[in-house]
Amino acid sequence: MLGNFSYCNPTKLYFGEDSLNYLNTELPKYGENVVLIYGGGSIKKNGIYDDVIKILKDNGKNVAEISGVMPNPTVEKLYEGIEIARKHNVDFILAVGGGSVCDYAKAVSVSVNCDEDPWDKYYVRFEEPVCETIPVGCVLTMAGTGSEMNAGSVITNHSAKMKVGHVFADEKIMPRFSILNPKYTMTLPHYQMIAGIYDIFNHICEQYFSGEDDNTSDYISEALMRSVISASRIANKNPEDYEARSNIMWSATWALNTLVAKGKTTDWMVHMLGQAVGAYTDATHGMTLAAVSLPYYSYIMPYGLSKFKRFAINVWDVNPEGKSDEEVAKEGLKCMEDWMKELGLVMKISDLGVTDEMIEGIADATLIMTGGYKVLSRDEVVDILKKSM
């Protein structure tokens, strides 16, 4: 491992079937004005809302709500939430939902006391907050993004056709605590479950496919990928399998809580392509990644051949005997493709609503990253998008 880094992750996690009880341990640490943030209503249907409200009331909190946070939360919704939080003189933000709700809560946290436009400041200029931020806690209901233990926040601006993620540098933007109960994820529709699973897997790939040095982070990544593959196959057949859902939830957190990026450059090009597709289609995040992944990885494979060979052998158990490096690497990607199809992921951006006319605009909206095995040109981005149709 050749990189220099610092590591600190201050998010306290409570994991398991009884984990919501620990909300009683955490809430007394914060002021009485709480803003509860949630999505389109799944938590009302599955009873999580009632349980959370009871604990908030038992702890004497004065609760305001921001409801209806949509998947891929928008900048307009952010402005609306900031007003509610300001009026309530918020001391603490409790996010109850998936990555969209957690990301949105962080965006509100850094914006309540900000006297500039938060979209311009955080998502266009990528500045850090200079104002006081509001502490965030999270009760997670969907496994995928890792937002429960990182400082990332993705907001979509439809009029600018931009979907932008800011990973804040300051650890205090990470949730102060997150409650992870795998049972809560059991009511997810199959489509969201598998989209979340692919999101987890791709987060690991984004950090794994970079660098040439022998790096502990890559060994951790391989183990995580093996766990995701194994658990996903079980959960895909039997979504009620608690052990599999539990492993998926825990892998999601470790896939993107900064650990496996340590000491490395990282790629993130699949996410840049996927986010640009998302800006045009509002499609489910994990599906946008799935639909561009094979054309992208097939294209960059020759530039990172030894890592793709290692991926084939260590993650997919490909037998390298008597085969060229390229054959082994290709076999690894074929195994990944077969697994993606077995889960039922969307494999084409045209199936997410992308039309030929959108390709140039999507290419313009794609940020080009420099940490992977190949820095793409705009023409190469267009080519990969066309191959993803």
The entry of ligand NZQ, Zn ion, none near residue 118 (CB within 5 to 8 angstroms by kind) is none
Report DSSP letters for 320-377, one per residue. -TT--HHHHHHHHHHHHHHHHHHHT----GGGGT--GGGHHHHHHT-PPPSSSS-PPP
How many positions of this chain bind ligand NZQ (CB under 6 A)?
35
Residue reference for tokens 């039309």: 355
Q: Which residue is nearest to Zn ion (CB)?
A: 199
- The reply to whether 285 sits near ligand NZQ by the rule CB under 6 A is yes
Mask: binding to ligand NZQ, 35-74, rule CB under 6 A, as x and -? Answer: ----xxxxx--x------------------------xx--
Minimum gap (Å) between residue 182 Cβ and Zn ion: 20
Minimum gap (Å) between residue 204 Cβ and ligand NZQ: 12
Out of 103, 148, 199, 331, the only residue in the binding site for Zn ion (CB under 5 A) is: 199
Residue type for position 244: A
- The reply to whether 182 sits near ligand NZQ by the rule CB under 6 A is no
| Cα dihedral: 194, 52, 18, 172 (round 10) | 80
Q: Which strand (E) or helix (H) includes residue 13? A: strand 12-15
**In b/e form, how buried is each residue of 89-102, taking b as 16+ CB within 10 angstroms?**
ebebbbbbbbbbbb
19 vs 145, beta carbon nearer Zn ion: 145
The entry of ligand NZQ, Zn ion, none near residue 256 (CB within 5 to 8 angstroms by kind) is ligand NZQ
91, 133 contact by CB (below 8 A): no
- The reply to whether 98 sits near ligand NZQ by the rule CB under 6 A is yes
Return the sign of the alpha-carbon dihedral for residues 124, 127, 130, 133.
positive
- The reply to whether 206 sits near Zn ion by the rule CB under 5 A is no
- The reply to whether 175 sits near ligand NZQ by the rule CB under 6 A is no
The entry of Zn ion, ligand NZQ, none near residue 129 (CB within 5 to 8 angstroms by kind) is none
92 vs 254, beta carbon nearer Zn ion: 254
In 209-268, which ranges are continuous DSSP H helix? 216-237, 242-255
The entry of Zn ion, ligand NZQ, none near residue 352 (CB within 5 to 8 angstroms by kind) is none
- The reply to whether 81 sits near ligand NZQ by the rule CB under 6 A is no
Nearest 5°: phi and psi at 301?
A: -50, -45
The piece of 3-11, 59-67, 187-195, 236-244 that touches ligand NZQ (CB under 6 A) is: 187-195
Question: 221 in helix, strand or coil?
Answer: helix
- The reply to whether 185 sits near ligand NZQ by the rule CB under 6 A is yes
Neighbours of 348 (CB within 10 A): 15
- Burial group, residue 320, by CB count within 10 angstroms (0-12, 13-18, 19+): middle
- Per CB under 5 A, residues contacting Zn ion are 199
- Per CB under 6 A, residues contacting ligand NZQ are 39-43, 46, 71-72, 97-101, 103, 141-142, 144-147, 150, 152-154, 165, 184-185, 187-188, 192, 196, 199, 256, 271, 285
